[in-house]
Structure 1
Amino acid sequence: MKTSGRSESTLNNYARHLAQMALHFNTLPTELDEDQIEDYLYLLQQQHNTPSESYFKHTVYGLRFVFRLEGLDDKRIALPAIQREEKLPVILSREEVKRLLHTPTLLKHRILIALLYDCGLRCMEVRSLQLKDIDLNRRMLHIRQSKGKKDRYVPIGSVLAAGLQKYIDAEGPVKWLFNGKGDPSIEGRKGGDFDSRYSQRGVQWAVTQAVKQAGIKKEVSVHTLRHTYATHLLEAGIDIMTIQKLLGHESIDTTMIYLHVAQPVDRPPLSVLDQLYGR
């Protein structure tokens, strides 16, 4: 499983959901017949409302994976095709981003949110930033081995560069840019060391609290800032191919979704009511 190239979180999800299935039948999922698997998937569908729910999807994907892993013909099991939901991302306005950046009392949280927005980072990417990845002279950020095991560089703006310098001088981080406060005796030991990075939950909490205190009513997650980054770049006239590279998207199709939410500044008026009243 480790050599398959899938992420740690994906493998954990597969293992957890297959384990639940094994406990339900008291046998390995690969020993089940077609009717048993269909009955179990039907049960999940009833419990979790729709086949698009993550619990259902991870069970199906995990089954497909383990059948291939064991050299079994997964076509003998009529596993359902799962369609991707056609949802457009939530985008913050520039005014909302300003409120979000000014809300946190801790400098650490202001810089964290600024990095997510100004560099379009994923949650894992901002957590994994080390001091060696930040080049304030060239104003470049080195994102190492992110999704798809790929590196990329993204530019750092002058406002963020000044904020980063202020934060580094004040906090004095040694390795990771953002450190948590985990107990080394219980948290992610690795060869006598422990993962002292700011936790995923910590990043999510910082963003959620800032959204709440800023009075923003939209459904905002950490990834919303990445969506907002891409959309604001597109609205500023940056071409879609450049945005694809900055985001680290393997396929341009993934980036194209922002064409549906971006509003170029020089766009013609699209409101017939505004035209009617000369606004």
Structure 2
Amino acid sequence: MTHTPAPSQPRLLDRVRNRLRVRHYSIRTEEAYLGWIKRYILFHGKRHPEEMGAKEIEAFLTHLAADRDVAAATQNQAKSAILFLYREVLALELLWLDNVIQAKARRRVSVVLTEQEVQLALSRMRGVNRLIATLLYGAGLRLMEAVRLRVKDVEFSRHEIVVRSGKGDKDRVTMLPGALVVELQNHLNQVLALHQSDLARGGGTVYLPHALARKYQHAEREWGWQYVFPAATLSLDPRDGMQRRHHHDERSLQRAFRQAVRDAGIVKPATPHTLRHSFATHLLQGGYDIRTVQELLGHKDVQTTMIYTHVLNKGGRGVVSPLDSLS
């Protein structure tokens, strides 16, 4: 009688990756969670997580705050990754983590560019990077919301952009600036020609989220699902190994914007996200209601939007300095 060996158990990190994809986590969250789980295991001398529990998790998270001085958001992400491992993959419930030293939540005033500084920076950018950066400022988009934008979500007739699965997996509607309509239409004509060329070579597919490729078999080749800002070259999708045209590389935009800021002689530590801060600030300065700005930004709580009101007060909350009174 021949003995059939039991199928081997997938490696732990493969199990985590598979569970993340079943739960439809983004590829960036997947990379971040896997990274934190690896660090947790290495911190404890490569012990298997099943041999550890709340005490070891507390030690690792405390190390991040006390020894590595990470930000509160970074520590919270590490905690979420490890709890996902125990609850979703290992199916183990943990005691409440009472003894973790919490990283300090540092409140920072957002970096905001003046309208003149925005103009100076954008004028020193070229090509697709300039168009995306202009859209970040003109519509208040986050960087990844812009590069993941699909053709079907740009509504030229109503001057609207539908942001799908934004932060917190929420959809929202923001404006399409009239000043960008013609340029964006011309850009999409070029993208369409590129897509048709891909189709002619037997390609033309794009990644679809939430198993939509199985539900709508031909959608991955349809024009409406293509990225507004596609990559210049094809690449392998890390999820399934298929060759597709991904979206524009956000790192290219980050480098181009930093260089533009330097070339413009702007000394503020501005990043592409600064354009979103500037969008909100300039709307409030223009007299728009804070609730309207909240909806355009997609903030869950108006208190988050309130961080931009500091610029509406001149230095010292609008108080006139006694030095200025001398004259």
Q: What is the TM-score normalised by the length of structure 1?
A: 0.83
Question: How far apart are 1:112 and its partner, in Å?
Answer: 1.1
For residues 208-219 of structure 1, the aligned pairs below 5 Å read 208-219=258-269
SS at match of 2:173: strand
Question: How far apart are 1:258 and its partner, in Å?
Answer: 1.0
Whichever of the two has the greater Rg, that structure is 2
SS at match of 1:74: coil
Q: Deviations over 1:231-267 (max 9, x none)?
A: 1111111111111100011121211111123358xx9
Question: How far apart are 1:164 and its partner, in Å?
Answer: 1.8
Match of 1:100 in 2: 121
For residues 59-208 of structure 1, the aligned pairs below 5 Å read 59-69=78-88, 70-75=91-96, 78-104=99-125, 106-169=126-189, 174=195, 175-184=226-235, 186=236, 188=238, 190=240, 192-208=242-258
Contact 2:62 2:100 in 1 (8 A): no
Pair 1:228–1:74, CA change in 2 (3 A): farther
Match of 1:239 in 2: 289
SS at match of 1:100: helix
Match of 2:49 in 1: 29
**Letter matched to residue 234 of structure 1:** L
Output the CA distance in 2 between the equivalents of 1:189 and 1:14.
15
Contact 2:149 2:228 in 1 (8 A): yes
SS at match of 2:312: coil
Output the CA distance in 2 between the equivalents of 1:235 and 1:95.
14
1:229 to 271, 279, 285: 279
Structure 2: runs of 5+ lacking an equivalent: 1-18, 196-225
Q: Deviations over 1:54-87 (max 9, x none)?
A: 6654433333443444332232662333442211
Pair 1:55–1:119, CA change in 2 (3 A): closer
**Letter matched to residue 213 of structure 1:** D
Output the CA distance in 2 between the equivalents of 1:150 and 1:53.
23
Output the CA distance in 2 between the equivalents of 1:153 and 1:76.
39
Output the CA distance in 1 between the equivalents of 2:100 and 2:194.
49
Question: How far apart are 1:169 and its partner, in Å?
Answer: 4.5
Moved more, 125-134 or 20-29: 20-29
Match of 1:257 in 2: 307
SS at match of 1:117: helix
Question: How far apart are 1:36 and its partner, in Å?
Answer: 4.5
SS at match of 2:35: helix
Contact 2:257 2:272 in 1 (8 A): yes
TM-align CA RMSD = 2.9
2:28 to 3, 6, 9: 9
Structure 1: runs of 5+ lacking an equivalent: none
**Letter matched to residue 255 of structure 2:** W
SS at match of 1:114: helix
Output the CA distance in 1 between the equivalents of 2:303 and 2:23.
24
Pair 1:39–1:71, CA change in 2 (3 A): closer
SS at match of 2:165: coil
Output the CA distance in 2 between the equivalents of 1:190 and 1:33.
33
Output the CA distance in 1 between the equivalents of 2:74 and 2:161.
35
**Letter matched to residue 215 of structure 1:** G
Question: How far apart are 1:129 and its partner, in Å?
Answer: 1.4
Pair 1:173–1:208, CA change in 2 (3 A): farther
Output the CA distance in 1 between the equivalents of 2:323 and 2:42.
60
Identity score, percent = 31
Contact 1:188 1:194 in 2 (8 A): no
Output the CA distance in 2 between the equivalents of 1:33 and 1:169.
56
Output the CA distance in 2 between the equivalents of 1:96 and 1:135.
29
